[in-house]
């Protein structure tokens, strides 16, 4: 392990700080050809910063990078690229207006030797070859705008391949993927490993790290904790390294009494998106909405919340039929929606915690003539920030300075402050660290216990199984199954979610 010549890339004593944050503190990391090296840690542990140091986006304040034993610096992404470093990020960094083929070759498009003219024919041929090699059926002339996240990831991988990458960094590539897509990704990853590519794999799903990786390195709060070869370590050990303690249970759903029907959806249809969706949600119940990415669960939620209302079908709240044509009306009925994309849809990043929490209920603090009662506003924000244990220097802190987990807490605080009866959560724990995840689950359980009705969209089966009282499964815009907590199994849900025939005993 310590043989220098064996290492393709070696980082020693890397430190990096940003105003107010020590993102990396004396971190070591090494990478060998033909291995998958998983990098794990809670959010804010410094994984992404380390990746950006390797890809040349950030320059370390201290420390040394060795490539094939030689010290190097990566002053910009281009130099890193020239050393064969390629990266795939959680959010695909593609150009929506350009074609798939162009995206693959951006920055190193094939040109005719003399004229430097773009060789479009060769570009599309080679792009087609790369996509074929990955087993992806995608026309390289298609525009990227409109592709699914999974398709975009594949374009990213093809892009990395086109660079003949010797080091491929995958930063949370699976968080937006369905199980099936993840399997594809793993298949491709293994193939790359066999071809001798060194792969850095970052994921918050430990089971994936164990499935794929040869070694696992753990970071915590910007510090290096340790590296373990996979066969000789356990999930428990790695979790302990990550959080510094053992976790008892991730899914603490308590049994609560289920009350009357709070929300009933009947025959909800939106042309081209979903058809004839029906289900009901009771007081104190957590209803899991399972399915693959692209099953149009989010579209159903958006229809209920009034962001893009359905074409036909009816919604009943508290046994009254209602029309919800915009979020304001949903809000008035006590329905709130916590979107999956926190940064874009959930938060106003440049504004402070107070202002974010009170955004939907600002009118409550408006006195005569619209005058804002700042102290009342602050009190409310304080109350809910405390209830959710938001960690920040103060309520005045801008949300963009908070960690991902704390941002999610602010989003939840915002919606709880609106005192909803019906809470729709869209992938509530996506991309947040283990500790916050547990806190979110605990909170959901508590809220249900207080009589709130929760509709939870989740692509993580353990979460669905652990948290839901009942489960509705969708496939391609249609409801394909209903299960109770007792009858649901991973296999049954998966079958329904992939549109396969099943027997519901």
Partner 1 sequence: MTVKARAVPSPSILSGLLLRWEWLLVVLLGIACMVNASLSPYFLDVHNLFDMTFHFMERSLIALPMAFIIISGNIDLSVASNLGMSTIIMAASYKAGLNIWLAMLLGLAAGAVGGLINGLLVARVRLPSLVVTLGTYALYRGVAFVILGDLVVTGFPSSFTAIGQGYVGHTPIPVPLVIFAFFAVLFGLLLHRTAFGRLVYAVGNNETACRFSGVAVDRIRIILFTLSGLMSALAGVVLSARFGSARPNIALGFELDVITAVVLGGVDINGGQGTMPGVVLALFLIGVVRYGMSLKNVPGQIQNTLIGMLLIVAILLPQFLRRLASRSRA
Partner 2 sequence: MVTVSEEKKGRSLLLLFAGVREMGISVFIVFLIAAVSLRSPYFLTVDNLVYILIDIAILTIVAIGETLVILTRSIDLSVASTLALSGMIVGMTISKHQGIPPAVAVLMGLAIGAVLGSVNGLLVAKGRIPPIIATLGTLSIYRGLVFAISGGAWVDAHEMPRPFVYLSKNTTLGIPNLVLFAIIVAIIFYYFLNHTRTGREIYAVGSNPSAARVVGIRVDRILFLVYLLSGTLAGMAGVLWISRYASAQSDTASGFELQAIAATVVGGVNIFGGSGTLPGVVLGSLLMGIIVNALNLIRISPFWKLAVQGFIILLAVVSDALLSRRLQQAGASEGAS
Binding site for partner 2 (CB under 8 A): 55, 57, 76-78, 81, 87, 89, 93-98, 102, 106-107, 109, 111, 116-118, 120, 135-139, 141-143, 146, 148, 150-151, 154, 180-181, 184, 271-273, 296, 476-477
Residue 138 CA from chain centroid, whole number: 24
Contacts to partner 1 from residues 462-491, by CB under 8 A: none
CB of 344 to partner 1, least distance (A): 5
Q: Which of 317, 331, 410, 472 binds partner 1 (CB under 8 A)?
A: 331
Q: CA-CA distance, 15 to 22, in Å (whole number)?
A: 8
CB 480 within 8 A of CB 448: no
Q: Which does 206 bind (CB under 5 to 8 A by kind): partner 1, partner 2, none?
A: none
Report in angstroms how near the CB of residue 147 gets to partner 2 at its nearest. 9
d(CA 179, CA 182): 5
Tokens of 52: 């950006």
Q: How far is CA 231 from its chain centroid?
A: 28
Looking at the Cβ atoms of 133 and 372, the one nearer to partner 2 is 133
State yes or no: residue 29 binds partner 1 (CB under 8 A): no
Candidates 150, 330, 467, 472: give the one binding partner 1 (CB under 8 A): 330
Q: Alpha-carbon dihedral of residues 307, 310, 311, 316, nearest 10 degrees?
A: -120
Angle at the Cα of 477 (from 318 to 275), degrees rounded to 5?
A: 65
Return the ∠ at Cα 10 (arms to 5 and 14), rounded to 5°.
Answer: 155
Closest CA to 152 of 40, 310, 293: 293
CB nearer to partner 1: pick between 98 and 395: 395
Asked if 443 interacts with partner 1 (CB under 8 A), we say no
Interface segment toward partner 1; rule CB under 8 A; list 32-40, 51-59, 224-232, 344-352: 344-352
Beta bridge partners of residue 12, listed in sequence order: 64
Element (H, E) at 445: helix 434-449
Q: Which residue has the tokens 């070759």?
A: 105
Interactions with partner 1, residue window 412-441 (CB under 8 A) = 414, 418
Report the alpha-carbon distance of residue 430 to residue 254 in Å, rounded.
22
Phi, psi for residue 27 in degrees, rounded to 5 = -100, 135
* Chosen residue from 48, 81, 355, 468 binding partner 1 by CB under 8 A: 355
CB 440 within 8 A of CB 410: no
Strand pairing class (62-67; 9-18): antiparallel
Among 244, 391, 487, 504, binds partner 1 (CB under 8 A): 391
Q: How far is residue 81's CA from residue 84's CA, in Å, rounded to a whole number?
A: 5
Helix (H, G, I), strand (E, B) or coil at 167: strand
Q: How far is the CB of 487 from partner 1 (least distance, A)?
A: 34
Instruction: In angstroms, give the least distance from the CB of 383 to partner 2.
Output: 37
Closer residue to partner 2 (CB): 131 or 353: 131
| DSSP letter, residue 23 | E
Instruction: Choose which of 137, 245, 320, 363 interacts with partner 1 (CB under 8 A).
Output: 363
Smallest separation, CB 77 to partner 2 (Å): 5
Is residue 480 within 8 Å of residue 503, measured between CB atoms? Answer: no
Tokens at 388, concatenated = 């959710």
CA distances to 191, 285, 366, 463, 483 from 490, rounded to whole Å, are: 28, 20, 49, 11, 11
Q: Binding to partner 1 by residue 359, rule CB under 8 A?
A: yes
Q: Could you say which of partner 2, partner 1, none residue 397 binds, taking C-beta under 5 to 8 angstroms by partner kind?
A: partner 1
Q: Which one of the spans 93-101, 169-177, 291-299, 395-403 is the region binding partner 1 (CB under 8 A)? A: 395-403
If one asks whether residue 68 binds partner 1 (CB under 8 A), the answer comes out as no
Nearest alpha carbon to residue 339 among 412, 259, 237: 412
Q: Which does 231 bind (CB under 5 to 8 A by kind): partner 1, partner 2, none?
A: none
Partner that binds at residue 359, options partner 1, partner 2, none, CB closer than 5 to 8 Å by kind:
partner 1
Near partner 1 by CB under 8 A: residue from 271, 350, 503, 505:
350
Which of partner 1, partner 2, none does 346 bind, CB closer than 5 to 8 A by kind? partner 1
| 389 in contact with partner 1 (CB under 8 A) | yes
Of the candidate residues 79, 243, 258, 395, the single one contacting partner 1 (CB under 8 A)? 395
Q: What, of partner 1, partner 2, none, does residue 72 touch, CB below 5 to 8 Å by kind? A: none
Count the neighbouring beta carbons within 10 Å of the beta carbon of residue 480. Answer: 21
Interface residue list for partner 1 (CB under 8 A): 19-22, 305, 307, 326-328, 330-331, 336-337, 339, 344-351, 355, 359-360, 362-363, 365-366, 369-372, 382, 385-386, 389-395, 397, 401, 414, 418
């Amino acid at each position: 392990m310590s043989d220098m010549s064996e290492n393709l890339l070696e980082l020693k004593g890397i430190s990096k700080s940003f105003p107010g944050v020590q993102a990396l503190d004396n971190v070591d990391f090494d990478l060998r050809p033909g291995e998958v090296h998983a990098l794990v840690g809670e959010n804010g542990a410094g994984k992404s910063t380390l990746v950006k140091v390797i890809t040349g986006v950030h320059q370390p304040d201290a420390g040394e990078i060795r490539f094939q034993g030689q010290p190097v610096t990566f002053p910009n992404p281009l130099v890193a690229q020239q050393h064969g470093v390629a990266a795939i990020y959680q959010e695909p960094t593609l150009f929506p207006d350009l074609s798939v083929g162009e995206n693959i070759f951006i920055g190193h498009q094939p040109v005719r030797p003399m004229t430097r003219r773009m060789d479009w024919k060769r570009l599309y041929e080679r792009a087609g070859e790369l996509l074929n090699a990955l087993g992806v059926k995608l026309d390289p002339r298609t525009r990227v705008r409109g592709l699914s996240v999974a398709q975009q990831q594949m374009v990213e991988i093809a892009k990395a391949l086109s660079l003949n990458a010797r080091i491929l960094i995958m930063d949370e590539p699976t968080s937006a993927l369905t199980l099936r897509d993840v399997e594809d990704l793993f298949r491709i990853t293994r193939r790359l490993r066999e071809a001798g590519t060194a792969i850095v794999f970052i994921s918050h799903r430990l089971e994936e790290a164990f499935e794929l990786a040869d070694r696992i390195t753990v970071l915590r709060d910007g510090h290096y904790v340790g590296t373990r070869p996979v066969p000789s370590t356990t999930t428990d050990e790695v979790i302990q390294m990550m959080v510094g303690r053992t976790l008892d249970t991730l899914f603490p759903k308590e049994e609560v009494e289920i009350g009357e029907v709070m929300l009933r959806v009947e025959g909800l249809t939106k042309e081209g998106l979903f058809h004839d969706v029906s289900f009901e949600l009771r007081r104190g119940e957590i209803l899991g909405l399972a399915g693959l990415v692209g099953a149009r669960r989010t579209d159903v939620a958006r229809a209920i919340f009034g962001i893009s209302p359905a074409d036909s079908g009816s919604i009943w709240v508290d046994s009254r039929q209602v029309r919800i044509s915009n979020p304001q009306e949903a809000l008035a009925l006590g329905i709130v929606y916590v979107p999956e994309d926190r940064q874009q849809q959930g938060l106003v990043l440049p504004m402070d915690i107070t202002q974010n929490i009170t955004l939907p209920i600002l009118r409550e603090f408006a006195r005569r003539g619209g005058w804002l009662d700042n102290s009342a506003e602050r009190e409310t924000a304080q109350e809910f920030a405390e209830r959710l244990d938001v960690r920040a220097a103060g309520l005045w802190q801008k949300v963009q300075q908070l960690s991902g987990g704390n941002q999610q807490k602010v989003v939840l605080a915002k919606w709880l402050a609106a005192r909803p009866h019906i809470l729709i959560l869209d992938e509530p724990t996506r991309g947040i660290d283990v500790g916050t995840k547990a806190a979110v689950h605990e909170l959901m359980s508590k809220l249900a216990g207080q009589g709130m009705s929760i509709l939870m969209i989740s692509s993580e089966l353990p979460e669905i199984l652990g948290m839901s009282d009942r489960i509705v499964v969708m496939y391609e815009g249609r409801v394909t199954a209903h299960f109770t907590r007792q009858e649901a199994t991973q296999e049954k849900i998966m079958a329904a979610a992939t549109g396969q025939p099943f027997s519901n005993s």
